[in-house]
Amino acid sequence: MLIARLIADPQNLETRLDAASAALEAEGMPVAAAVMLDFCGDVLQIMLPEGDPATLRRVLDAHFAPSDLLVSAQEIEVPKLFVSDMDSTMIGQECIDELADFAGLKEHVAAITERAMQGELDFASALVERVGLLAGLPEETIATCLSERIRPMEGARTLVATLKAKGCHTVLVTGGFHHFADPVAEQLGFDQVVGNRLAVSDGALTGGLVGAITDSSVKRQVLLDEAARLGESATSLATGDGANDIPMIEAATWGLAYRAKPKARSAADGWIDRGDLTSILSLFGIPRDEWVAA
């Protein structure tokens, strides 16, 4: 059984569903049932007895974009583990780009960041290059950047608080830095943080890092390790937006791409392109009256 849960523009929804069903029939994937979920009224659930998940995502994207979508080959339930990227996923900024602005280097650093997130550059080498450009920047600039520039993505607090209330363990894992991730995690309510550490000497950034780099392989391993700790039956959800999130997204029971780069989007089980982060709660069948205000 394949299950798709979809949130899209309600206008002409039935007409578009008919067209999508015909397209799926032509692919040899007949729709068994399509209903609006009683407990999440804006969510359309489509069920098919069999088929290819990638084909289902492609057809639904063609008929309903922009949408919020989750495709699953198993029953959808609230996950026991939630692992998320930070920059441009849980917060609306790329921390290193904003920090670079204080050094007058934002345009240059942001261009490298974009290429790394698109998967055009090796993440680790791109990170080392960008951090090196920040050498000499006063450490106190980070606090200024946090207070003036860094803001949670809409719905982030409610998403984390609600999942935790449902018994989900939450981990913020980032290719960014603990200087930013620790306060962001505290603000949003994450249980655990994994990230990189900026080297500091005499009150200024040295342009280096302390310890091993948190890259795509580390993100994936964090998800696998935490899932194993919770037990082999524990289901997991991963969210991210860039190429370095792909291994983590693919390793999770359900991987969702949030306003993502094309490579990350195509690797995921679904995406959030239309709503804010609370759309994830609806896709997992959590009614609005059970959301935790934060």
| 111 contacts: CB under 8 Å, gap ≥ 6 | none
Exactly one of 87, 97, 245, 269 is catalytic; which is it?
Answer: 87
Catalytic residue check, 85 = yes
CA distances from 48 to 39, 139, 258 (A): 21, 55, 25
Residue 207's closest CA among 130, 144, 112, 142? Answer: 130
Phi, psi values for residue 165, rounded to 5°: -65, -25
Both tokens of 15, joined, read 């007409």
Q: Which residues of 53-88 are buried (b: 16+ CB within 10 A; e: fewer)?
A: bebbbebbbebbeebbbbbbeeebebbbbbbbbbbb
Between the CA of residue 101 and those of 3, 97, 186, 256, what are the distances in Å? 44, 6, 25, 30
SS3 content of the chain, % helix, strand, coil (to 5): 40, 25, 35
Choice among 85, 97, 245, 273 that is catalytic = 85
Q: List 83's β-bridge partners, or say none.
A: 171, 238
- Give the number of other Cβ atoms within 10 Å of residue 5's Cβ: 21
β-bridge mates for residue 34, sequence order: 46
**Phi and psi torsions of 256, nearest 5°:** -120, 135
Residue 237 has which token pair? 């959800």
- Check: CB of residue 247 under 8 Å from CB of residue 216: yes
Nearest-Å Rg of the Cα atoms of the chain is 20
Give catalytic status of residue 225 as yes or no.
Answer: no
Annotated catalytic residues are 85, 87
